[in-house]
Amino acid sequence: MIFSPKCLAIVVICCIGLGSCYEQTTCRQVSLISIASRYREALIPRQIKSMTLLRRYTTFPCIKYFSYGFYGPYAWVNRNCRGLFRVCTIPGATRLITCSSRGNRVATCSLGRPIKSITVKYHLSRNPCVLNYSYRLLGTRLQVYNNCMATFAVGY
């Protein structure tokens, strides 16, 4: 290889979003058990980044995204999957907030801090709550419309 003293390369690495380069990931071990093929979930107090099966407690298979997985701050198991999991999270807090649109009116709920993630935890109405269809994020506020009524898991 020939190196030229006239060439200067500057490499800039940018980290945007939830997986920022400067965020410290923390991991913990969590036991989760699906009994009688039932869905079970556990609220982990932070946004989950990854989930790995460490030890299986049953002869039933535990297949990622089929019989175990995660969404937002929730780790879940299903279909008789039972095991010890390594759950890694990113910094921040998670809280539940209920926000409701009634009579096709727009409702705004102030959350106080910028939101990193949001997931519908419980539907409280027959109308679906779908991101950018019946709810959206506006900085530090959650806006719901189209008769969306739900409890949301919000990650900061």
> 117: pLDDT confidence band, cut at 50, 70 and 90?
confident
Q: What is the pLDDT of residue 20?
A: 44
How far the first Cα of the chain sits from its last, in Å, is 48
| Rounded percentage of the chain residues whose pLDDT exceeds 90 | 48
Q: What is the pLDDT of residue 11?
A: 34
Domain ranges of the chain: 26-89, 94-155
Least confident of 1-10, 88-97, 115-124, 135-144: 1-10
Residue of 67, 94, 72 lying closest to 83 (CA atoms): 67
pTM of structure: 0.51
Residue of 88, 72, 78 lying closest to 29 (CA atoms): 88
Residue of 86, 84, 94 lying closest to 26 (CA atoms): 86
Query: What does the alpha-carbon distance between residue 38 and residue 27 come to, in Å, rounded to a whole number?
Result: 26
Q: What is the pLDDT of residue 23?
A: 54
CB within 8 Å of 70: residues ≥ 6 apart: 44, 48, 51, 76, 87
> 10: pLDDT confidence band, cut at 50, 70 and 90?
very low
